[in-house]
Amino acid sequence: MNNNQKLAKIFDEIADALEFLGENPFKVRAYRTAARVLEGLDRDISWYIENNKSVKGIGTSLRAKIKEFLETGKVRKHEELLQKVPRGIFEVMAIPGVGPKTAKLLYDRFGVKSIEDLKRVLEDESIYQLRGFGPGKVKNIKEGLELYERAHSRFPIGFVYRPIMELKERISRIDGVHRIEVAGSFRRMKETVGDIDILITTDRPTEVGNAIVNLPSIERVLLKGPTKISFIYTLPRGDLIQVDVRIVKDENWGASLMYFTGSKEHNIAVRDIAIEKGYKLNEYGLYRGINVIASRTEEEIYEALGMQYIPPELRENRGEIDLALKHAIPDLVELKDIKGDLQVHSIYSDGQMTFEEIEKYALEMGYQYVAVTDHSYSLKVAGGLEESRLFEKMEKLRQFNKHSRVRLLMGAEVEIRMDGTLDYPDEVLKELDIVLASVHNVRKNEDITERYLRAMESPYVDIIAHPTGRLVTGRNPYPFDEEKVFKTAAERMVLMEINAHANRLDLNDIMIMRAKPYGVKFSLGTDAHGKGNMWMMVLGVGQARRAMLTPGDIVNTMNLDELLDFIKKARKHREELSRKLNN
């Protein structure tokens, strides 16, 4: 864990503790903002301190605490709060539906200071003794607890993706490692992953094994043998995950990779096909009797079974096997197909990137364009832009694009209000290159169908952003009528976003598969707020591939001129539909 990550965790815990203790909400928000800023920095915070560089979102008081940490490894305020708030309370507060205020009530009345204590008061129903804790609220807490435990038995793919890829890179650099691949649900790009399986080949297993167990961030070695090394690995925020490194032979590489990649259901179904054809399939190869038919590559095993190669992301036994037998799996979208990012936030609202920094990261990604989509004014907490500020940004962006090597599209993420109206009128929206409409504030159990339908009445709403509103580990999807929303989106040529941010993955693969049959087209956006977060596009592409999308299903695969032409035609189409409806 680097300094930025350690401090972000400390500031988050200070914010949680202050909120639990009923302190000033502005102090709480300051610590939370600082934590997000630290996570988004592309340099270690010590560089900013040593070079006397200011950091937006970190004031004098917080800067002093950062200096204290860099000098002592601790923050006195954090240590003091840990004496006042039991450690287990932080886990209780993290449960959706609980939060600091509810946690304080449960602690004061029943002494709840751990998840086990919470389970106790839920099971014996003593929780109902608290005022305001009726069946609905208790049901929400139970659902939140279930969601929390499910999420914490697995990790969101976006949370582990880069640390595991860095671990893969470290292992690959060990002298004697010839081939390496991460398998399992990680390779399938599933939205959450459990233990990590890494396969390697080497002719020096002892030396390689010794080098692996001495890598940084290994908390504890569980097993070290000639074919398997297991250890507990520390993730950037201090969480622990088990990693199994399996040493396989070159001649078994394909079979082992296939075996350790596929879901259990996929592997069983493929094995059944092998049996039907008179073969035996296991992690060492495809056999007829004692003779090896195929084992070196996955491709040759699928081919020997009369199947098209199945990309790893599809190996869930959700219809991909029948398609492979018919050689009907389409060419899936790849990261290299993506020409730009269609949701990025700048310093004009709650983002951390200047136009220059967005350009820099876009060039690293090989993009032609990026949509700068800062929030509209209703979202005050995110620094939403009033119209005057929007037009100021628009002029600055025009000037910037005169010399930029990447076209920054003038966009906005416009709030869909409770009545379905939008923050900006159509005469403002039509001046923008691209408009995302989204919902952030939802009443309890509100069905947001009508809000989406009314928002799509505007000819200038190009994309519905993060449509379900879910968070991977913290919030269930908003309810809405999928048929009405997806059908309307298709009819009006409104795109549904695949939000690639690690916290969202919204739409996810399941929802993409539900939307596609209506004729919906999709956009990909990282929703990047912090510096460097545009890497998350790989996560969105992973969800798209799991849903079997092709380049033609996603507008980001268009070059700049094609994209602008598509938006122009779609808006004209919506204008014509609106005229017909009004006549």
Residue 211 placed within a domain: yes
**Which whole number is the average pLDDT over 26-47?**
82
The confidence score (pLDDT) of residue 150 equals 65
486-475-332 Cα angle (round to 5): 50
- Tokens 């002892």 -> residue: 206
At 474, is the pLDDT very low, low, confident or very high (cuts 50, 70, 90)? confident
Q: What is the percent of the chain where pLDDT is above 70?
A: 98
367 and 502 together in one domain: yes
In whole angstroms, how far apart are CA 56 and each of 15, 272, 389, 412? 18, 58, 19, 22
Residue type (1 letter), 448:
I
Q: Mind listing the pLDDT tens digit for each residue in 508-553?
A: 999 999 999 999 999 999 999 988 899 999 999 999 999 999 999 9
436 and 540 together in one domain: yes
281 and 347 together in one domain: no
Burial class (CB in 10 A: 0-12, 13-18, 19+), 123: exposed
Q: Which residues pair with 413 in a beta bridge?
A: 375, 436
Dist. CA 501–CA 508, nearest whole Å: 11
Measured in whole angstroms, the distance separating CA 99 from the mean position of its chain's CA atoms is 22
Residue 478 placed within a domain: yes
Residue 494 placed within a domain: yes
Helix (H, G, I), strand (E, B) or coil at 127: helix
Residue 23 placed within a domain: yes
287 and 412 together in one domain: no
The confidence score (pLDDT) of residue 134 equals 87
Q: Residues, the chain, total?
A: 583
Q: Which of 247, 280, 297 is the last residue of a domain?
A: 247
Q: Mind listing the pLDDT tens digit for each residue in 37-61?
A: 887 666 779 888 988 988 888 989 9
408 and 387 together in one domain: yes
The confidence score (pLDDT) of residue 522 equals 98
Residue 332 placed within a domain: no
- 2: pLDDT strictly greater than 80: no
Q: What is the CATH number of the domain that holds 101?
A: 1.10.150.110
DSSP letter at 416?
B
Dist. CA 553–CA 332, nearest whole Å: 10
How many helices (DSSP H) and strands (DSSP E) are in the chain?
Answer: 24, 17
239 and 256 together in one domain: no
The confidence score (pLDDT) of residue 413 equals 98
Dist. CA 134–CA 541, nearest whole Å: 42
Helix (H, G, I), strand (E, B) or coil at 236: coil
423 and 313 together in one domain: no
451 and 428 together in one domain: yes
DSSP letter at 535?
G
Long-range contacts of 450-455 (CB under 8 A, 24+ apart): 450/420, 451/416, 451/417, 451/418, 451/419, 451/420, 452/416, 452/420, 452/480, 452/485, 452/488, 453/420, 453/484, 453/485, 453/488, 454/416, 454/419, 454/420, 454/421, 455/416, 455/420, 455/422
The confidence score (pLDDT) of residue 32 equals 87
141 and 41 together in one domain: yes
Residue type (1 letter), 520:
V
The total of structural domains in the chain comes to 4
Q: Mind listing the pLDDT tens digit for each residue in 138-191?
A: 888 888 888 777 656 788 999 999 999 999 999 999 999 999 999 999 999 999
Dist. CA 191–CA 477, nearest whole Å: 15
121 and 164 together in one domain: no
Residue 333 placed within a domain: no
Q: What is the CATH number of the domain that holds 282?
A: 3.30.210.10
CB 523 within 8 A of CB 556: yes
166 and 266 together in one domain: no
Q: What is the CATH number of the domain that holds 350?
A: 3.20.20.140
557 and 427 together in one domain: yes
The mean predicted confidence, pLDDT, of the chain is 93
Residue 577 placed within a domain: yes
Dist. CA 321–CA 273, nearest whole Å: 10
H or E stretch including 354?
Answer: none
Q: Which domain holds residue 179?
A: 155-247
Task: Assess whether the previous peptide bond of 507 is cis (omega < 30° from 0).
Answer: yes
Q: What is the CATH number of the domain that holds 171?
A: 3.30.460.10
Q: Which residues pair with 196 in a beta bridge?
A: 243
- 41-75 in b/e form (b: 16+ CB < 10 A) is beeebeebbeeeeebebbeeebbebbeebeeeeeb
Residue 331 placed within a domain: no
Q: Which of 297, 325, 353 is the last residue of a domain?
A: 325
Q: Which of 325, 350, 384 is the last residue of a domain?
A: 325
